[in-house]
């Protein structure tokens, strides 16, 4: 499969592409990077996929996962390709099985890695291990280059608690709430920077980046998902709402 460009504007591009093909087509900057920050919500482990689907099937089977799980090797291959291509922060939303693989791989590649941050719904009885018919919860593993500019970034949260009324999904099974993605984008990037999500699903990271004044590029290996992302970024209103708080 090669990369097919579905949407391109001044501030966003969306491809139907595997992450490997996406990396081949993105323009390299003078320092050989392609983006300022990588914020990715790649597939979870086999264990979580199985538990998710078993729970979904017992509830009528409408939301089984339509893409394959990732292994430690998938994480390693992905990081080895994308770390040299990224100038700033790395955020991976993942499960308890793969979180140590993301952290260990980034550490080996020279990044400073933080302990994983829990991302949970406010007021829920959180089942943090992702084993079954749980309310939604996940981990964000975060890393940065070991340079002074990133060490002085400022105070960062130890967890993300998604408030009631913000549990919306993206149209892709496993999709994330916009609220969470906006917080991650705001915490780990600066306005105007280029955020990349090479496994963008329904395009939540890209949407969050655009709504917070960043630029965004993303791709997904599944056409159906990439089309949802393209639709979200290309054809819907993605500015901040006119009367948004603080605007
Ligand atoms: C958890 S979902 C992302 C959901 C997204 N964050 C959202 O809110 O809609 C993971 C995505 O990774 C995609 N994916 C899996 N392997 C991939 C690969 N090798 N290259 C690009 N995308 C891939 C899947 O098709 C799926 O859409």
Ligand 1: lining residues by beta carbon, under 6 Å? 18-19, 41-43, 67, 170, 172, 174-176, 198-199, 201-202, 204, 219-222, 225
Q: Which tokens hold the place of 185?
A: 């984008």
Ramachandran bin of 212, using left for φ above 0, alpha for ψ from -120 to 50, beta for the remaining angles: alpha
Whose C-alpha lies nearest to ligand 1, atom 12? 199
Distances (CA, A) of 88 to 17, 37, 57: 23, 5, 40
Among candidate residues 111, 178, 174, 186, the one with its CA nearest the CA of residue 142: 111
39 membership: H or E segment, kind and range: strand 37-40
Please report the pLDDT score of residue 130 as a whole number.
Answer: 54
- pTM value is 0.92
Q: What is the pLDDT of residues 106-132, one digit of tens each?
A: 999 999 999 999 998 887 766 655 554
Pocket test of ligand 1: the residue of 19, 43, 65, 184 to mutate, having most ligand atoms within 8 Å of its CB, is 43
Q: Which tokens hold the place of 74?
A: 């998938």
- Alpha carbons 233 and 9: distance in angstroms, whole number: 9
Please report the pLDDT score of residue 116 as a whole number.
Answer: 93
What spacing in Å lies between the alpha carbon of 30 and ligand 1's midpoint?
Answer: 29
Pocket test of ligand 1: the residue of 200, 211, 218, 223 to mutate, having most ligand atoms within 8 Å of its CB, is 200
Rg of the chain, C-alpha, whole Å: 17
Distances (CA, A) of 85 to 33, 39, 121, 122, 178: 4, 13, 33, 35, 26
Low-confidence spans in the chain with pLDDT less than 50: 132-133, 237-238, 241-242, 246-247
**Closest atom, ligand 1, to C-alpha of 222:** 25
Reduced to 3 states (helix: H, G, I; strand: E, B; else coil), residue 197 is strand
What spacing in Å lies between the alpha carbon of 230 and ligand 1's midpoint?
Answer: 14
- Alpha carbons 3 and 26: distance in angstroms, whole number: 10
Handedness of CA 55, 58, 64, 70 (dihedral sign): positive
């Amino acid at each position: 499969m090669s990369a097919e460009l579905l949407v391109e504007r001044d501030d966003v591009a969306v491809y139907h592409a595997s992450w490997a093909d996406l990396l081949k087509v993105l323009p390299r900057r003078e320092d050989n990077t392609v983006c300022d920050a990588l914020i990715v919500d790649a597939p979870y482990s086999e264990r979580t996929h199985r538990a998710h689907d078993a729970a979904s099937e017992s509830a009528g089977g409408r939301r089984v996962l339509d893409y394959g799980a990732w292994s430690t090797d998938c994480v390693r291959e992905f990081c080895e390709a994308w770390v040299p291509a990224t100038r700033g922060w790395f955020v991976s939303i993942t499960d308890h099985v793969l979180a140590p693989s993301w952290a260990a791989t980034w550490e080996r590649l020279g990044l400073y890695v933080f302990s994983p941050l829990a991302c949970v719904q406010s007021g829920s009885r959180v089942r943090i291990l992702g084993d079954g018919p749980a309310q939604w919860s996940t981990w964000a593993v975060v890393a940065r280059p070991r340079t002074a500019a990133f060490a002085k970034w400022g105070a960062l949260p130890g967890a993300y608690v998604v408030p009631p009324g913000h549990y919306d999904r993206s149209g892709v099974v496993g999709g994330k709430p916009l609220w969470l993605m906006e917080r991650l984008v705001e915490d780990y990037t600066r306005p105007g920077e280029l955020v990349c999500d090479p496994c963008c699903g329904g395009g939540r990271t890209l949407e969050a980046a655009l709504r917070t004044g960043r630029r965004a590029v993303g791709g997904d290996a599944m056409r159906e998902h990439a089309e949802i992302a393209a639709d979200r970024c290309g054809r819907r209103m993605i500015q901040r709402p006119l009367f948004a708080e603080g605007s």
